[in-house]
Structure 1
């Protein structure tokens, strides 16, 4: 499994004007090719009077599915340049559709490439892009004498705390990258003389979104 990758969490819409042609870029998150194709068809119906609805999408944490379409523009001037932006920015599970209303002035090959890439970037700028990180869920149970030591280790290693339960003892719910798991466990054992109990749970993907930890 990939330890970290960028995805579109919330799509957005951006627009540019180039020599009277209007380019509307719509970005959405997609998990399957079926979702992507359904959305592309919906955009074509929504913007039925537009000259072109070009598209590009990347699906999978390892770019398992990559597709693009010029939708009538000269070959290689729309879909591929749009796709290049997604790949260069290392954004996964994302679809961008750029709708063009022709303004009457020909842009030429270079002009089209620049316009479609600029529109794609504008759409991404209006979207929320997040880093999904692979981590272990770990519960640490300790008495009140050990909580300070454990919290120090958590801060020192920059470990993500999801929640903390205070009863007759303290249970801390954590998310740790695989690379930090062994080191953290050893430090907790040493700091508490083996008194703290640790329960290793599932591997999940998580992200920090607007200051809040979200588990997928």
Structure 2
């Protein structure tokens, strides 16, 4: 498949498909990292409030969050740890790993041994890094890309054949075939890399002797599996 800037998603940061937890123990201090999807600051605040309630006996609940399609809003909190030793290092991990719409909460149970500023930085950043590694290993990391919404009405008699074609086409060109809506005709909705819309039109025309003409609509940002992109 020919790569284009549109197909690359214009460098959009990725996100999480679901929450993930990770525990790090350093000199008897326990650092419990909880990362969760959050599309707004309000959603992130709700996650933090829930963690504080569930782990009420932890000494600190340090926070970093990044939200917005282009990582527009970013915040962090040391929650009583020495300034700059917790929230900011956590936030730097989220930035470095290029994720957004994510909130990270690291709750610390003090083990009785002081770690020093450098030790705290390594612990809090390491807890978030470990959680992101766990997310990657569990298939919970998603990449984001811009896709053009293409709709196509197909007579019921041809629906099965065209659905098979579109599923193969979507796998080859990194598109998404949404659920089919059945009414007077079968309506297919395909989320297509902007640079591949013309190719889809040509392939459908070839498969239908020019009878099927898809209609391209708005662009949408979609979440996609983080694995290797298919190649045509």
TM-score by length of 1: 0.79
Q: Give the gaps of 5 or more residues in structure 2.
A: 1-8, 228-232
Task: Report if aligned partners of 1:138, 1:176 keep a CA contact under 8 Å in 2.
Answer: yes
In the alignment, structure 1 residue 195 sits paired with structure 2 residue 203: no
2:104 match:
96
Mapped partners of 1:138, 1:184: distance in 2: 9
Task: Report if aligned partners of 2:146, 2:222 keep a CA contact under 8 Å in 1.
Answer: yes
- Mark the CA change 1:123 to 1:151 in structure 2 (over 3 Å): closer, same or farther: closer
- Mark the CA change 1:111 to 1:137 in structure 2 (over 3 Å): closer, same or farther: same
Task: Report if aligned partners of 1:13, 1:25 keep a CA contact under 8 Å in 2.
Answer: yes
> Shift in Å at residue 66 of structure 1?
0.5
Task: Report if aligned partners of 2:166, 2:177 keep a CA contact under 8 Å in 1.
Answer: no
Q: Which stretch has the larger CA shift, 39-48 or 172-181?
A: 39-48
Mapped partners of 1:149, 1:102: distance in 2: 58
Match of 2:191 among 140, 154, 175: 175
RMSD: 3.4
Mapped partners of 1:123, 1:32: distance in 2: 21
Secondary structure at the counterpart of residue 10 of structure 1: coil
> Shift in Å at residue 172 of structure 1?
4.7
Secondary structure at the counterpart of residue 190 of structure 2: strand
In the alignment, structure 1 residue 130 sits paired with structure 2 residue 138: no
- Mark the CA change 1:3 to 1:113 in structure 2 (over 3 Å): closer, same or farther: closer
1:162 match:
178
Match of 1:119 among 119, 127, 132: 127
Superposed, 1:1-216 pairs within 5 Å as 4-127=12-135, 128-141=140-153, 157-162=173-178, 172-189=188-205, 192-208=208-224
Q: Which stretch has the larger CA shift, 91-100 or 123-132?
A: 123-132
Secondary structure at the counterpart of residue 216 of structure 2: strand
Mapped partners of 2:98, 2:123: distance in 1: 20
- Mark the CA change 1:150 to 1:76 in structure 2 (over 3 Å): closer, same or farther: closer
Q: Which stretch has the larger CA shift, 144-153 or 49-58?
A: 144-153
Number of residue pairs aligned between Structure 1 and Structure 2:
211
1:214 match:
none
> Shift in Å at residue 47 of structure 1?
2.4
Mapped partners of 2:186, 2:46: distance in 1: 49
Secondary structure at the counterpart of residue 17 of structure 1: strand
Instruction: Give the strand-richer structure, 1 or 2.
Output: 1
Task: Report if aligned partners of 2:13, 2:71 keep a CA contact under 8 Å in 1.
Answer: no
Mapped partners of 1:169, 1:37: distance in 2: 45
